Structure formats: structure tokens, C-alpha cells
Amino acid sequence: MAFIEIKDVRFSYAMEAGAEKEVLHGINLDIGQGAFVALLGHNGCGKSTMAKLLNGMLSPSSGQVLIDGLDAGLEENQLPVRRQVGLVLQNPDNQLVAGIVEEDVAFGPENLGVPPEEIRRRVDEALKAVDMYHYREHAPHKLSGGQKQRVAIAGVIAMETKCIVLDEPTAMLDPRGRQEVMETITRLNREKGITIVLITHYMDEAVQAGRVVVMDKGQVLMDGTPQHVFKQVERLKRHDLDVPQATELCYRLRAAGVALPDIPLSVEECVGMFRNLLR
């Protein structure tokens, strides 16, 4: 049994006059414990709906979302599911609640009724894990966007969730902030084994995941390693998606008849390949 099992999930939003609009048309996905999955797709393809189904904020119209075997769509499972799956959203200003960083991180465990000494330990550990321990007594509103998002992530970690779902966490951040958040989630995944589901429009972020799932019109269009998915440049473009510039450059060089050994996904891979080639 996989940690997250999505079985034939359909979801419809209620529209005016009793009408319904189905946005997910039968999704099947298994996500193993400790996986790092990037979820791609254009605006309106159902990605954010998926995020909300994963932690029980929405219930499927039909089918099931199982988190560690628990049906996330059932009301009685809401609390245990949210302890397992934390959600981090796009706008860092909408998800910080307290006036001091460490109090904000403590908010989650306090609500779970965790004893005070245990809260202290968890808050310190969570802030260290996102490299924000030095800022524990600062005011959240004075932090940069990247720092705010890391505090939001610490708030989720302090609840000892096994999985973090991030819905475009870097859309509002500057380049350094984006890098800080990406480094934090890759480290949490690698060192703490936390399962990561990252929803993003940035292809250079998606290539850092272990698995890429592309959604289109409420269905899974592609599912595989970044190498597998991003090499299908034409197919991605047909579905209004993009590839990293490094990938596009090498794909088009090859198409023009230049013999390249590989299609790289990142600047580093690309430069490494050219270095070998030009040696």
C-alpha cells in the first residue's frame, strides 16, 4: 500500500442554479512515502483541487483519496489526515498568524494539544530544519518572502506531518527566495524523508523532483522521472507547457543536426555536457 493512494477520483464544483462543473475526471495516482513529486499543468487543470483533496479540505465527488490507509474524504478522518499532510500556499502573508516567528510555528502543535516542553522541542527543531532558528524571535511581517515561506513550512513540520503539499510556494518570491524555498524542501525530503508534493509553474523547479506528474484537463497526461517527461518537448509544448531553457536549447540544437549525447534538464548538466564536448 502506497502512502498516498488516489483512486478514480472525480471532483465537481457546484455552479449556479444547481449545475456542476467536473474538474477532475478520474485520477489514479500512488505516491510512496518519502517521494518528491512535482505536479505540473496549466491554470485550471485541477492541480490546486488535487492539493486540497490531499489534506481533506475537499472531498472527492467519487473515488477515494487514502492517506496512509485513511480515507481523507471522511469527516471523522479530517484531523488525523491533516496531521499527516500539511499544506503551504502561494501567498506567505496569508498563512502566518502570530506576531513572533516561534509563536507562529507553535500554533499548529498547540492546537493539537501537544505538551509545552514537547512544543518547545518541536519548534526549535522545525526552525533549525528550515534554517530560520536565528530569526525565532523576529516579527514575521518583517521577513523577506522566502523567509516567510520557510516559517510557514516550519509550522507544518512542527506538526510532525509526514507529507507537505506546496501549492506554488515560490510564485511571489524573488530569485533568492525561490532558491531558499527549493533548497529547504529538497533537504527536508532527503534528510527527513518527508514526502513532498510540489505544485509549480516553474520548470526549473520541477526538474529537481524525483517524479513529475503532468495534468491536463483534469486528467494525468504524463507521469515519470523528470528525464522521461521533459525530453518530450514537443508534447509538452502542444499542451501549452514549457521546458527549462537548458532543455529547450539542447533539444533544438539536436533538431538542427548538432550531435549531442544527451538532453540536459538544468544549467549545471548542460554546462557539464558542453565542457566534455568541447574538451
Partner 1 sequence: MTILETRNLTYKYGIGTPFEKTAVEDVSIEIERGEFLGVIGHTGSGKSTLIQMLNGLIRPTSGQVLLEGKDIWAEPKKIRDVRFKVGMVFQYPEYQLFEETVLKDIMFGPKNMGLSDAQAQARAEEAAAFTGLKAELLEKSPFELSGGEKRRAAIAGVIAMDPEVLVLDEPTAGLDPRGRDVLLTQITQYHKKRGNTVLLVSHSMEDIGRTADRLLVMNSSRCAYLSPTQEVFAQSGKLEGMGLRVPQITKIVQALERLGCPVDPSTLTVDHALKQLIPYFKQLNPGKEA
173 binds partner 1 (CB under 8 A): yes
Distances, alpha carbon 265 to alpha carbons 2, 102, 236, 239, in Å: 28, 38, 14, 19
Q: Which long-range contacts (CB under 8 A, 24 or more apart) does 23-27 make?
A: 23/49, 23/218, 24/49, 24/50, 24/53, 24/60, 24/218, 24/219, 25/217, 25/218, 25/219, 26/63, 26/219, 27/63, 27/218, 27/219, 27/220
Helices 101-111 and 145-157 meet at what angle, rounded to 10? 30
> Closest Cα to residue 55, out of 41, 45, 43, 65?
65
Determine the interface stretch with partner 1 among 1-9, 122-130, 198-206, 219-227 (rule: CB under 8 A).
198-206
267 binds partner 1 (CB under 8 A): yes
Q: Does 275 bind partner 1 (CB under 8 A)?
A: yes
Give the binding range for partner 1 (CB under 8 A) out of 30-38, 57-65, 176-184, 222-230. 176-184
Number of residues that bind partner 1 (CB under 8 A): 42
- Choose between 44 and 193: whose C-beta lies nearer to partner 1: 44
Q: What are phi and psi of 232, to 5 degrees?
A: -90, 60
Q: Does 241 bind partner 1 (CB under 8 A)?
A: yes
Q: Which of 171, 183, 217, 223 binds partner 1 (CB under 8 A)?
A: 171
Residue the block writes with cell 544527451: 262
Q: What is the distance between the alpha carbons of residues 95 and 129, in angstroms, rounded to a whole number? A: 19
Q: Which of 20, 174, 193, 235 is close enough to bind partner 1 by CB under 8 A?
A: 174
What x/- string results for residues 35 through 54 when contact with partner 1 is judged by CB under 8 A?
------xxxx----------
- Of residues 57-116, which lie at the interface with partner 1 (CB under 8 A)? 90
Residue 107: count other Cβ atoms within 10 Å of its Cβ.
16
- By C-beta, is 102 or 204 nearer to partner 1? 204
Nearer to partner 1, 65 or 222 (CB): 222
User: Which residues are near partner 1 by CB under 8 A?
Assistant: 41-44, 90, 144-146, 168, 171-178, 201, 203-204, 240-242, 244-246, 248-249, 252-254, 256-260, 267, 270-271, 274-275, 278
